[in-house]
Amino acid sequence: MSKTKSNVNADIAFAYLPTHKKERKMKFFDLLLVQTVIGLSAFGLLSGAYAGSMLTTGDSMIAVLFGNAFPMFLIAPVAIYFAKYGVDTFVGYRSALGYNGGVAFFVLFYCLSLGYSALALFMAGESLSSALKIVHAPAVVSGSGGATICALLLFVVALLIVIRGPHAIRKFNLFAVPAFFLFLIGLVIAVVFSDHIPALSKLVPIEPFENHTRSFVTALEINVALGFSWLPYLGQYSRLAKSTKSAYQASFYSYGVIVVVAAVVGALAALISGSMYPGDWMNAIMGSKYAIIGLILLTVANLGATLFLMYSFAISFKTMFSKSSWILAVCSLLPTVFLLLNSGFYDAFNIFMSVISFTMASLGGILIADYFFVKKQNISMRDLYNTNGKYKYWFGFNPSAVVTLLVSYIFYWGIYNPITLEVTGLFLKISAGIPTFFLSCAVYFICAKFIFRFEVDRVSSKDETFKAYLIEQKNDDDQVKQPVEQQN
């Protein structure tokens, strides 16, 4: 375990400390590959499947393509910030949210990690249970409750692998990553080279709303949520980019374009099979003879995605709470079990993603407005790490961000309630997630520039004093690193 501990500690220190330019070795294709891996999993498939369950083939393709690409177009510039300064997501967000606001964002990331881990595990469990059913395995793992049992067993496996550290995860992903690409390729081939293509234009969605407009906007909203949901992950790898240009392009093309492939496959699978469950997809598209292969590949792939999610969160947990043990950081994800006890959370994927849409759209708008329009790309590295510095605002929270979140909440939930599915005429015309992003940008800018007007928000690129300070902070890395290295 000493080697594991050494590897984990190295990753924790590397994740928290600002990366030097010589440490930023990831080129465009490196970033593209590593960020695509997590996107091409349960989340893309499910977002597409919901579109396919509510819309015809053509309309579901439009909802999937626009819904994923446009939100990423809006938030991808965030990658420029993290690539320029080489800081982690939760350190970088201190400039816009305040020090305690950054902690609050981490709590939100915790909820996202629990939800995403549960979704990936349940899809893996459902796939494994369906595969075992084909080979007539015992009812306990292949019957009606088999998906839950298999998901819980896979969670234990994931927990044990993540506890062993990055070396074990990398070994497993040598199989998991190719497995998902093989799954997608196999499913696409089965659809294209069969009689499904001519039938797609005649297929009717299984769960449409009472009118087409509501079905389309609701499906669009779910895919928009997926696009915005990648926000916390943009800083984790962009900080390793060799250039801001490669960080921006890789973020957009991975999460905003390539992930669409999985969503398209999910939409086609739901239309053809009339189901949201992968076991039904495989049997309807590939037939029972080849279904077991696809199901096993999907199981391995989603388990690999779970490892990525769990390890990323555990690293963030340790950087936020450095005195905690690695086992505690990993085991903080144990509440995932409660989301796996039945298919309820899996079936409520659309509700979960709508909540994510509101929060991530708001936070994305805040950071874009803060970095590009308020602070004009002038961030103090020293104050990001000094929790008594300029980004303390009011009691560690930026009131401009708090007001913005409150206004965004009133707007989003006022026109669309994803829990009760109550909508207004405005939602049917403009949807909710994308307008919330633009609203949060505008409200934050007005609050920061004209209402609260903190000193750190009044600087500009023409401020010679601040420019001198920026030059001075180039020599601050050693001052930042020394106490952090001692702490870790």
* 18, 170, 385, 477 from 13: Cα distances, Å: 9, 19, 14, 14
Q: Which residues contact 425 (CB under 8 A, 6 or more apart)?
A: none
Residues recorded for the chain: 488
pLDDT tens digit string along 237-248?
787 788 889 889
The stretch 293-303 carries a mean pLDDT of 88
Taking alpha carbons only, the member of 272, 212, 227 closest to residue 52 is 272
What's the pLDDT score for residue 132?
A: 93
Range with the lowest mean pLDDT among 101-105, 288-292, 483-487? Answer: 483-487
Pick the more confident residue, 412 or 233. 412
Measured in degrees and rounded to the nearest 5, phi and psi for residue 66 equal -70, -40
Q: How confident is the model at residue 66 (pLDDT cuts 50, 70, 90)?
A: very high
Range with the lowest mean pLDDT among 35-39, 265-269, 360-364? Answer: 35-39
What's the pLDDT score for residue 196?
A: 66
pLDDT at 37 over 80: no
What's the pLDDT score for residue 280?
A: 86
Measured in degrees and rounded to the nearest 5, phi and psi for residue 335 equal -60, -15
Range with the lowest mean pLDDT among 17-21, 234-238, 433-437, 466-470? Answer: 466-470
pLDDT tens digit string along 311-337?
888 888 887 787 788 889 899 999 999
What's the pLDDT score for residue 486?
A: 52
What's the pLDDT score for residue 212?
A: 92
pLDDT tens digit string along 153-197?
999 999 999 988 777 777 787 777 788 788 888 888 887 777 666
SS (H, E, C) the chain: CHHHHHHHHHHHHHHHCCCCHHHCCECHHHHHHHHHHHHCCHHHHHHHHHHHHHCCHHHHHHHHHHHHHHHHHHHCCHHHHHHHHCCCHHHHCHHHHCHHHHHHHHHHHHHHHHHHHHHHHHHHHHHHHHHHHHCCCCHHHHCCCHHHHHHHHHHHHHHHHHHCCHHHHHHHHHHHHHHHHHHHHHHHHHHHCCCHHHHHCCCCCCCCCCCHHHHHHHHHHHHHHHHHHCHHHHHHHHCCECCHHHHHHHHHHHHHHHHHHHHHHHHHHHHHHCCCCHHHHHHHHCHHHHHHHHHHHHHHHHHHHHHHHHHHHHHHHHHHCCCCCHHHHHHCCCCHHHHHCCCHHHHCHHHHHHHHHHHHHHHHHHHHHHHHHHCCCCCCHHHHHCCCCHHHCECCECHHHHHHHHHHHHHHHHHEECCCCEECHHHHHHCCHHHHHHHHHHHHHHHHHHHCCCHHHCCCCCCHHHHHHHHHHCCCHHHHHHHHHHHC
pLDDT at 42 over 60: yes
The stretch 390-405 carries a mean pLDDT of 95
Range with the lowest mean pLDDT among 315-324, 413-422, 445-454? Answer: 315-324
What's the pLDDT score for residue 29?
A: 79
What's the pLDDT score for residue 325?
A: 85
What's the pLDDT score for residue 124?
A: 93
Residue recorded with tokens 């006022």 = 414
Quote the CA–CA distance of 2 and 315 in Å, as a whole number.
17
Q: Which residues contact 65 (CB under 8 A, 6 or more apart)?
A: 260, 264
pLDDT at 483 over 70: no
The stretch 384-396 carries a mean pLDDT of 90
pLDDT at 88 over 90: no
Q: How confident is the model at residue 272 (pLDDT cuts 50, 70, 90)?
A: confident
pLDDT at 11 over 80: no
Taking alpha carbons only, the member of 216, 199, 200, 198 closest to residue 208 is 216
Range with the lowest mean pLDDT among 31-35, 191-195, 454-458, 476-480? Answer: 476-480
Taking alpha carbons only, the member of 168, 40, 117, 165 closest to residue 306 is 117
| Inter-axis angle of helices 349-368 and 78-85, nearest 10 | 60
Taking alpha carbons only, the member of 347, 487, 485, 486 closest to residue 14 is 485
CB 16 within 8 A of CB 239: no
pLDDT at 398 over 50: yes
What percentage of the chain carries pLDDT values higher than 90?
Answer: 42
The total of other beta-carbon atoms located within 10 Å of residue 221's CB is 24
CB 260 within 8 A of CB 64: yes
Amino acid at 467: K
Measured in degrees and rounded to the nearest 5, phi and psi for residue 137 equal -75, 165
Sign, CA dihedral 120-126-127-128, equals positive
- State the distance between the two ends of the chain, measured CA to CA, in whole angstroms: 18
pLDDT tens digit string along 130-158?
999 988 899 999 888 899 999 999 999 99
Domain 2-350 -> CATH class: mainly alpha
Domains of the chain by residue range? 2-350
pLDDT at 2 over 90: no
pLDDT at 369 over 80: yes
What's the pLDDT score for residue 63?
A: 95
Range with the lowest mean pLDDT among 118-122, 124-128, 473-477? Answer: 473-477
Quote the CA–CA distance of 391 and 435 in Å, as a whole number.
28
Q: Which residues contact 145 (CB under 8 A, 6 or more apart)?
A: none
pLDDT at 470 over 50: no
What's the pLDDT score for residue 1?
A: 47
* Mean pLDDT for the chain overall: 84
pLDDT tens digit string along 191-224?
777 766 666 777 788 888 889 999 999 999 999 9
CB 89 within 8 A of CB 309: no
What percentage of the chain carries pLDDT values higher than 70?
Answer: 87
What's the pLDDT score for residue 464?
A: 42
pLDDT at 488 over 80: no
What's the pLDDT score for residue 164?
A: 86
Quote the CA–CA distance of 202 and 78 in Å, as a whole number.
42
What's the pLDDT score for residue 146?
A: 92
Quote the CA–CA distance of 284 and 278 in Å, as a whole number.
10
Pick the more confident residue, 258 or 67. 67
